[in-house]
Amino acid sequence: MSKTIEIRVPDIGDFVKVPVIEILASAGDQIEAEQSLITLESDKATMEVPAPFTGTLLELTVSEGDELTEGDVIGRMEIASDDDSDDSQSRDADTDAASAAAPDAAEKSDVETSHQATAQVETFANEGGTTESQAAGQVPTPAEPFAEMDVPASDLPHASPGVRKLARELGISLEGITGTGRKGRITDEDLSAAIKSQMGGGGAGLAVAAAPVVDFASFGPVETVALSRIKKISGPALHRNWVSIPHVTQFAEADITEMEDFRQAQKDVAAQAGTKMTPVVFIIKAVVASLKAFPHFNASLTPDGGSLIHKHYFHIGVAVDTPGGLVVPVLRDCDQKGFIELAQELTELSQRARDGKLSADEMKGGCFTISSLGGIGGTEFTPIINAPELAILGVSKAQVKPIWDGEDFEPRLMLPLSLSYDHRVIDGADAARFITHLGHQLEDLRRLL
């Protein structure tokens, strides 16, 4: 004989109206006692609501986004009528707690009062670690861990206990996995994608030994300082781009002697317009001309990697060094703007970047990025592509060099350029053509103007 029971949210401490973020089972599923049915997530913790008994799930009456409180019905299941609270496969249900949590359950005539299992709780601060009770194979009872649960959400990755458990079992760190779920939560799919990516196409693999954990304090005084918010956001993206895009960097030098003479001559004009004519503005124009000549640089791969999306607009990102870290505001429609207008926009955007006042939209939509360290120094560097863009130009400090003109060495102002490109799409020969074309734009002012 079988009977139908309601499944209710068990004691979840002081939490009320906790959103459902994951549905883990479907009607018709054969469910084991303790099997997780749904995941709830508050700002402080994720909690899985397990099945109270072994049986067949008849229905789940909640959806993602619903907000639940202790005692709320989440569905019904059919269990063997002798599958009672003393069934060895089932958790003991605390009927007092159940009726306290579900006072209206007794009013249902066709449905037994629900038996409640204990929510499995994991705080966000528990990543990578295993509580003592978990290590002992126990499900924490609400009474003790809920008191400790009220810890502030840390910057550790958000993931359901199920995802964390699987990641632990597979020895995969959740650090560095970009969550696509609500509030950046790492979902099952994100974990699978990370595992696939770590296994790498062709088995090249990204599985590397974990970085050594060093007790620096044993060598001398130390201080731990949290990374800036910008670095915490940009770090995983840079890491992803670095490991997932086959980068090659092509170097070249452009003779900008004439360009620099012209720029110096234009300084007053720019000053009258309330701005500063920097080399970066000329480089933006040269990049636009080169993107027009080599349209497959102004493109992005489709997510399946099988096609290119060509862009018919010219939005250029410029990396700006700010006290909090690197940000990349995007100057839109650079093909339609003059030098003075671009100079004004660059000055305004980079100032707002340094003041931390850029909006997220102002950092979106770029086709190609320029990273200029020319005002600082260094000879050349290998910039990391700003995915989903296909290439990035690094600019270093121009220097006067003796250049052989066929008869003599002439002092010329040479600008070092570094073009990193996605070798899945761009061949080395194309990159050499692109950077040569770019150099010619900068060398021949008539083309640029």
* In the complex, minimum distance from the CB of residue 270 to ligand CAO, in angstroms, rounded to a whole number: 10
Cα(75)–Cα(59) distance, integer angstroms: 5
Residue 281 Cβ, how far from ligand CAO at the closest point, in Å? 8
> Does the footprint of ligand CAO cover residue 397 (CB under 6 A)?
yes
Side-chain half-sphere exposure of 438, counting CA atoms within 13 A:
30
C-beta closer to ligand CAO: residue 90 or 350: 350
Q: How far is the CB of 140 from ligand CAO (least distance, A)?
A: 44
Q: Which residues contact 351 (CB under 8 A, 6 or more apart)?
A: none
Contact between 342 and ligand CAO (CB under 6 A)? no
Q: Does 149 bind ligand CAO (CB under 6 A)?
A: no
Asked if 350 touches ligand CAO (CB under 6 A), the answer is yes
Instruction: Work out whether 352 is an interface residue with ligand CAO (CB under 6 A).
Output: no
- If one asks whether residue 316 binds ligand CAO (CB under 6 A), the answer comes out as no
Q: Is there binding between residue 278 and ligand CAO (CB under 6 A)?
A: yes
Q: Is 25 in the site for ligand CAO (CB under 6 A)?
A: no
With CB under 6 A as the contact rule, the residue among 316, 398, 414, 426 that binds ligand CAO is 398
334 in catalytic set: no
CB 31 within 8 A of CB 137: no
Q: Which stretch binds ligand CAO (CB under 6 A): 104-112, 136-144, 207-215, 366-374?
A: 366-374
Among the listed residues 83, 247, 367, 422, the single catalytic one is 367
Q: Say which of 423, 430, 437, 440 is annotated catalytic.
A: 423
Q: Which of 395, 425, 431, 442 binds ligand CAO (CB under 6 A)?
A: 395
Q: Which of 87, 112, 321, 380 binds ligand CAO (CB under 6 A)?
A: 321
Report the C-alpha dihedral over residues 129, 131, 137, 139, rounded to 10 degrees.
-120
Which residues, listed in sequence order, are joined to residue 57 by a DSSP beta bridge? 77
Q: Judge residue 437's burial from the number of C-beta atoms within 10 Å of its C-beta, 0-12 exposed, 13-18 middle, 19 or more buried.
A: middle
Q: 315 an active-site residue?
A: no
427 catalytic residue (yes or no): yes
Residues in the chain: 449
Q: Is 252 in the site for ligand CAO (CB under 6 A)?
A: no
Q: Does 291 bind ligand CAO (CB under 6 A)?
A: no
How far apart are the C-alpha atoms of 412 and 398, rounded to whole Å? Answer: 10
- Residues between 410 and 439 that touch ligand CAO (CB under 6 A): 415
* Shortest distance, position 425 Cβ to ligand CAO, whole Å: 22
Q: Please identify which residue in 36, 113, 234, 372 interacts with ligand CAO, judged by CB under 6 A.
A: 372
Of 122-130, 182-190, 275-283, 421-429: span binding ligand CAO (CB under 6 A) = 275-283
Catalytic residue ranges: 367, 423, 427
Residues that bind ligand CAO (CB under 6 A): 278-280, 318-321, 326, 350, 371-375, 383, 395, 397-398, 415
